[in-house]
Amino acid sequence: MAGMSLAIKGGLSMQTMSRRNVLKLGGIAIASPFIIRNARAAEFNYKLGLELRDDQPLPKRMLEAAATIAEETNGRLQIQGFPNGALGNPVETLNQVRSGALEFLTSSFGILSTLDRRAGLPTLGFIFENYDQVWKAIDGDLGKYVAKVIAEHGELVVLDGIHDIGFRHVTSNKGLFAQPADLKGVRIRTPPTPFLTSLFSALGASPTPIAFGDLYSALQTGTVDAQENPLTVVASYKFYEVQKFCTLTSHTWDGWVPVANRAAWERLPEDIRQVVARNFQKAALQQRKDIATQVAAVRTDLDQKGLQFGSPGPGVYRKTLQGTQFYSDWKKQIGAEAWGVLEGAVGKLG
């Protein structure tokens, strides 16, 4: 994916530098209109890892926030943004922020579940029916519980302001999956995360982890029959060229979670922390609106490109899962306390 153009003092491009060198050069300024470049004058020079291209709502709003933070702190804190996964893949950057090599990161609930499985609770299959439920839970007790779980590990602080990744849906050349039984035997590509592989296994499908970079060709050649992703991903990576149908399953939701290295966060004076927290939260609220607008436009565009849409009956998938061991197995894995918080936010599951 094409990322932000990065200009390094001395004329080096990001492409000529290793990720390790990038992390060592804490005083480098990115050639971005959002970042104030006089980093050497700052009292604190911090880095922010971002997974997506800088033209996407998440990096755009967070880079804007970084610029505002620099202004409101009179340049005392400079946050240099690295979009497009420039510092490494999601697991690598999570390890970097845990070790202190990186100060700020937006990580997904799914990736945070690799640190503590309970952090992946918001991504459990068919727990949310709509965005009203999502934000009530994420901005409420469920989100607070995940923040507490992460904090227990001692290395990270979760900041307020969860961004929207979106609901995931299933595309295929096999037709629409109006009923869970329609998925039986379907080879569906999923990320190698237990929350997703166990979900589709419980529904009778055959989850097949494939590297994302190989997914288009795997769909094109029939190595897999289907894939699942937000509509924005279906559009950006042109899966509609090799898929005919899209079932709006909304089977799981995920969000971007702003996290900070605890030691780096605690080094900041309280007044600077308040500026960061306020602007990060503002960025998240703006990004949520951006995503809602983007998804509506993408749905229209995909429809015009010939992707055929359909929706399953209300609650049919969740009801089917309740007849399996899916929810009860997860309750055993994460414990009664976590499960109680989850059901308190989304209703009875088992």
C-alpha to C-alpha distance for 21 and 88, rounded to whole angstroms: 12
Domain residue ranges in the chain:
14-164+255-291, 167-252+296-346
Q: Are 109 and 158 in contact (CB under 8 A)?
A: no
C-alpha to C-alpha distance for 87 and 299, rounded to whole angstroms: 32
Beta strand 226-229 with 44-49 is: unpaired
pLDDT for 1 equals 39
C-alpha to C-alpha distance for 33 and 2, rounded to whole angstroms: 17
Which phi and psi angles does 64 have, rounded to 5°?
Answer: -60, -45
The stretch 167-195 carries a mean pLDDT of: 95
Closest CA to 246 of 168, 134, 164, 129: 168
β-partners of residue 108 are 256
pLDDT for 165 equals 95
The stretch 7-18 carries a mean pLDDT of: 36
For residue 123, give Cα distances in angstroms to 110, 111, 126, 167, 340: 7, 10, 9, 9, 16
Q: Would the pLDDT of 312 be above 90? A: yes
Domains 14-164+255-291 and 167-252+296-346 share a fold: yes
Closest CA to 43 of 193, 202, 268: 268
Which CATH architecture best describes the domain 14-164+255-291? 3-Layer(aba) Sandwich (3.40)
CB atoms within 10 A of CB 296: 11
Q: Are 242 and 310 in contact (CB under 8 A)?
A: no
Reported as a pLDDT band with limits 50, 70 and 90, residue 162 is very high
DSSP 273-337: HHHHHHHHHHHHHHHHHHHHHHHHHHHHHHHHTT-EEE-PPTTHHHHHHHTSSHHHHHHHHH-HH
**Looking at the chain, how many residues does it have?**
350
Q: Can you give the pTM of this predicted structure?
A: 0.84
- Summarised one tens digit per residue, pLDDT across range 79-138 is 999 999 999 999 999 999 999 999 999 999 999 999 999 999 999 999 999 999 999 999
DSSP 93-154: HHHHHHHTS-SEEEEEHHHHTTT-GGGGGGGSTT--SSHHHHHHHHTTHHHHHHHHHHHTTS
pLDDT for 26 equals 42
Return the half-sphere exposure (C-beta side, CA atoms, 13 A cut-off) of residue 73: 30
Closest CA to 194 of 303, 286, 111: 111
Domain spanning 167-252+296-346: CATH superfamily: Bacterial extracellular solute-binding protein, family 7 (3.40.190.170)
